[in-house]
Chain A
Amino acid sequence: MDIWNILDIEKTTDIKAIKKAYAKMLKVHNPEDDPEGFMRLREAYDEAIRRAEFLAKRKSLQELDYDIFDNNDTFDDVDDFDDNSVFFEINPSKEKEPFDNEYPKHEEDLKDLEINSRTNNDIFPRYEKAEALYNDIFKRREISCWQKLFTEMSIDEYKYFSENAWNFFNTNCCLPHSVWKFIDSEFSIFEDSRFRWTKLVQYDFGLSFEFFDQSTSIDYSSFAKFRFLAFECFMKGDYKGSIEYLMKAEEIFNNDPLIYRLKGISSFYLRNYDDAIEALANAFSKDRKDVDSLLFRGNAYIKKHEFEKASQNFYKVIKIDKDNKDANKGMIKCLYYLKKYELLKQYLINFRSRYPKVDLETDILQIKYEKKKLSTKLKYISDFIKNFIDRIKNPSTPLAAVGSIIIAMLALILFFIIVFSPIGLIVFIVAIAYFSIKSLNNERKGLY
């Protein structure tokens, strides 16, 4: 069912109208009376808000009325969030539906970024040189090129660019981390509240430009854009969208381990463990130091209950980094389910000594292992006793003779206790009396 039908409203980008429609429909689909209807309504509301925001931002970029802190779209209290806790949106909605016709498809997304840059150029002719530099993917990645650009600007140009750097880099955002750091050092762009990509300045996410080779005819520019869009989707929790963009990027250039790592992790979170395993294997083959891929792969095998294969991945990590906690934890899980208890015991001891801080998963596995150990021992003892009794019962075995002798000796000891101990004698007389009376009663009742 269409989201606009669910909200009972015409298609709109008016956020207030969407909220009003939602409040009205909430009376019809109360979570108490109609929980399924309520959940459909909530999903429709989230999607409508997301679309309205997206279209509003596109429009506002063109009208230079850009405010990324439009914070009036929330139903819930968002006190927990500070600006830096959200990468792209204030309220990222949950996993998204595929884009419909109203939304730009992949190629249109690319054009979108290009249109914005052209728009910027029309309004800010002083961006021309910066645009030209940005459009050359091999120059874009070089700090020296940016340095030269800024050095060659006149004082007015530099001043103007400095005041509007946030705007330029909001749309021209596919840059390596080293360049971001340089730009931040020039313009303190991180401090500007209008700048969207603060996290890209803060952290290096591995969106590398290093392996772009000028001698090939590969369209690295499109590759970088698709990879960026994939990363954006991932950060919003849109794992399906992320995979779609990653596949597009892969078609252009398939030697970047990051695209496989992201694909693997996205598939993992979507519980497509087979796809995750394949993608992560590709990631590791291209970057042999990428233990993260091995760890996710190992955990994907654990989800599939293929513990032998999982343990192989964790073992590879331990060979690279023997103190890796996740790998040791993973090994412990595998050894428990593979019932390799001797090795498990060693790993548990090592784990405790290396990581004294408590850990839920290993603590539970240890408790389960201790219980299993105890029940195994008890089972062993009871099996032994049962076996012993069976052998005694079997008259052909020597054990039967030994058993008979032991029983005879016990009977003799009991006899002496009865005869020579006053209490034993009393108990014996009471027992005889009891069975005699019972026998007489049964005779009277005619039971015999």
Chain B
Amino acid sequence: MANSINVQLWGLSLSLTSIWGSEKDFEIIERFKPFWKNVKKGKLNLTKEILQGIPESSSSFFKKQVDEKISSFLNDTFNISDENSCIICIKHLFNGSNLKKSFEEKRRLFVSIPQKDRAYFINSFSKNRMEFCQYSIINQYGKYLPSAGILAYDISNCISICRLGLYMGYLNESSLQKYLNTLAKLAQENYCDFEEFGLASTVGVLYSLNGYDNDVYSHYLNNLTIALTNPESPWNNIDWNIDLSKSF
């Protein structure tokens, strides 16, 4: 039982480095303290709150605020406003987004250019152009990512959308479990540990931003750092190589 919950928590934890972030997940972990001891002892059930990643609130005022925040986030970031658009967006990310394809093409081109010419190549673009930012990101982080590149960004956001979609009523629990199953296996096949996955996911966020300022960078660095270093983080409590066939 504990193992089955661990498997599901493993999958859900992949959304820690999504655009939505991990703040609410850590609020929930704090609320169920000692979270991991309870998981180990089999005292913790996977409630809807944990699945959705949104802490429950008894106050209807706060709940309404949270609903509005999530609704505008989904709409502004992913054009999701109802069940139909939610499913379309999930399918799009399932296929591998255009961002991922763009990253891989640019990376292959960049890596093929001799090392001594790369700085010149990047500087040949005007600094306010998208290509300048994107190739700068690839130069800084992308060369040594595995062949999956920033697939982690798609996976992370897809899981996040599924969880928020469950909260908003766009998806049901069994749909979430099915998507989670496939996405978790995809992540495990393509990356070797949480650190690699988290880095790839965060690089994807930066790549999508087309230039970023220090505040934005700090926010996503913080997400990744907490996911990797917080003792209560799932990434420090569940093994990356867990057997995912044990029940989703």
**Chain B residues proximal to chain A, CB less than 8 Å:** 87, 90-92, 94-96, 98-99, 101-102, 104-106, 108-109, 111-115, 117, 121, 140-141, 143-144, 146-147, 175, 178-179, 181-182, 192, 199, 202-203, 206, 214, 217, 221, 224-225, 228-229
Q: Is the CB of B102 within 8 A of A303?
A: no
- The answer, among B90, B101, B113, B217, for a CB contact under 8 Å with A31, is B90
Complex Cα–Cα for A67 and B69 (A)? 48
- The answer, among A42, A206, A290, for a CB contact under 8 Å with B95, is A42
**A residues in contact with B92, CB < 8 Å:** 76
Q: Is the CB of B178 within 8 A of A33?
A: yes
Q: How far is the CB of B16 from chain A (nearest CB, A)?
A: 14
Q: Is the CB of B147 within 8 A of A358?
A: no
**B residues in contact with A75, CB < 8 Å:** 95
Q: Is the CB of A361 within 8 A of B199?
A: yes
Complex Cα–Cα for A318 and B98 (A)? 37
Q: Is the CB of A367 within 8 A of B225?
A: yes
Q: Is the CB of A32 within 8 A of B143?
A: no
Beyond A270-B147, A303-B192, A359-B140, list 11 extra A-B contacts (CB 8 Å): A38-B94, A79-B98, A86-B105, A87-B108, A92-B105, A199-B109, A204-B114, A237-B147, A265-B111, A360-B206, A367-B229
**B residues in contact with A237, CB < 8 Å:** 104, 108, 147
Q: Is the CB of B108 within 8 A of A368?
A: no
Complex Cα–Cα for A36 and B106 (A)? 29
Q: Is the CB of A360 within 8 A of B95?
A: no
**A residues in contact with B221, CB < 8 Å:** 358, 360, 363-364
A228 close to B (CB within 8 Å): no
Q: How far is the CB of B177 from chain A (nearest CB, A)?
A: 11
**Chain A residues proximal to chain B, CB less than 8 Å:** 31-33, 35-36, 38-39, 42, 75-81, 85-87, 91-92, 94-95, 199, 203-206, 231, 234-235, 237, 239, 265, 268-271, 290-292, 295-296, 299, 303, 325-326, 358-361, 363-364, 367-368, 371
Q: Is the CB of B175 within 8 A of A32?
A: yes
Can you spell out 7 A-B residue pairs with CB atoms less than 8 angstroms apart? A31-B179, A32-B175, A39-B94, A76-B98, A270-B147, A291-B115, A360-B199
**A residues in contact with B115, CB < 8 Å:** 290-292, 295
**B residues in contact with A199, CB < 8 Å:** 109
Q: Is the CB of A364 within 8 A of B108?
A: no
**B residues in contact with A326, CB < 8 Å:** 143
**B residues in contact with A86, CB < 8 Å:** 105
Complex Cα–Cα for A93 and B111 (A)? 19
Q: Is the CB of A39 within 8 A of B182?
A: yes
Q: How far is the CB of A364 from chain B (nearest CB, A)?
A: 6
Q: Is the CB of B202 within 8 A of A85?
A: no
Q: Can you name the residue of chain A whose Cβ is closest to the Cβ of B212?
A: A358
Listed from nearest, the 7 A-B pairs whose CB atoms lie closest are: A35-B182, A269-B147, A292-B115, A299-B144, A80-B98, A205-B112, A80-B102
Q: Is the CB of B146 within 8 A of A271?
A: yes
Complex Cα–Cα for A85 and B134 (A)? 12
Q: How far is the CB of A299 from chain B (nearest CB, A)?
A: 4
Q: How far is the CB of B156 from chain A (nearest CB, A)?
A: 15
Q: Can you name the residue of chain B whose Cβ is closest to the Cβ of A269?
A: B147
Q: Is the CB of A364 within 8 A of B147?
A: no
Q: Can you name the residue of chain A whose Cβ is closest to the Cβ of B183?
A: A35
Q: How far is the CB of B152 from chain A (nearest CB, A)?
A: 13
Complex Cα–Cα for A70 and B26 (A)? 49
Q: How far is the CB of B33 from chain A (nearest CB, A)?
A: 21
Complex Cα–Cα for A42 and B111 (A)? 28
Q: How far is the CB of A417 from chain B (nearest CB, A)?
A: 39
Complex Cα–Cα for A296 and B145 (A)? 11
Complex Cα–Cα for A396 and B199 (A)? 56
**A residues in contact with B175, CB < 8 Å:** 32
**B residues in contact with A39, CB < 8 Å:** 94, 182
**B residues in contact with A269, CB < 8 Å:** 146-147
**A residues in contact with B102, CB < 8 Å:** 80-81, 85
